[in-house]
């Protein structure tokens, strides 16, 4: 199938599909005699894997590793689980950091009258 059909099946843009190919994240597709890429169901599966992993917070390098693991019949689920647990810990840390940022921003918004005066508690706190 051509790249347009794969894009429709996966919801990815042609540009993203080519990027994942160029970076070696997915298996390179075969080329027709005229040089067009010829994708298979295997590519659709790889691209769906990349999309779902990326949406779960994994980097493109990590997505590439997942594609490789998906093709490795000797993989151990313990390896996959360990990588996923590590990503979960990273996300939990980010959530904590974002929660703290939110608290700070809420505090500033509450403290600032937002009027036409020059006194601004937000600037005062930032310049301490």
pLDDT digits (tens, 9 = 90+) for 23-52: 999 999 999 889 889 999 999 999 999 999
For a pLDDT cut of 70, what percent of the chain falls above it? 100
Overall average pLDDT of the 82-111 stretch: 97
For a pLDDT cut of 90, what percent of the chain falls above it? 93
40 CB contacts (<8 Å, ≥6 apart)? 1, 29
**Computed over its alpha carbons, how large is the radius of gyration of the chain?**
23
DSSP state of 17: H
Question: What confidence score (pLDDT) does residue 79 get?
Answer: 93
Our CA angle for 48, 52, 54, nearest 5°, is 115
Residue 17 has pLDDT above 90, yes or no: yes
Residue 100 has pLDDT above 90, yes or no: yes
Question: What confidence score (pLDDT) does residue 128 get?
Answer: 86
Provide the CA 20 distance to its chain's centre, in angstroms.
13
pTM of the model: 0.81
Question: What confidence score (pLDDT) does residue 91 get?
Answer: 97
The neighbouring-strand residues paired with 30 are 38
Q: What is the mean pLDDT of the chain?
A: 95
Question: What confidence score (pLDDT) does residue 9 get?
Answer: 96
Tokens of 105: 């921003």
In angstroms, the CA 73 to CA 96 distance is 37
Overall average pLDDT of the 97-124 stretch: 95
């Amino acid at each position: 199938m051509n790249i347009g059909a794969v894009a429709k099946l996966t919801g990815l843009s042609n540009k993203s599909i080519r990027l994942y190919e160029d970076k070696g994240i997915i298996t390179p597709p075969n080329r027709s005699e005229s040089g067009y890429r010829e994708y298979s169901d295997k590519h659709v599966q790889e691209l769906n894997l990349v999309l779902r992993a990326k949406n779960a917070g994994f980097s493109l390098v990590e997505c590439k590793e997942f594609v490789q693991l998906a093709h490795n019949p000797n993989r151990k689920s313990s390896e996959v689980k360990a990588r996923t647990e590590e990503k979960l810990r990273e996300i939990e840390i980010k959530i904590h950091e974002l929660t703290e940022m939110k608290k700070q921003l809420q505090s500033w918004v509450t403290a600032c009258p937002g009027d036409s005066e020059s006194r601004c508690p937000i600037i005062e706190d930032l310049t301490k």
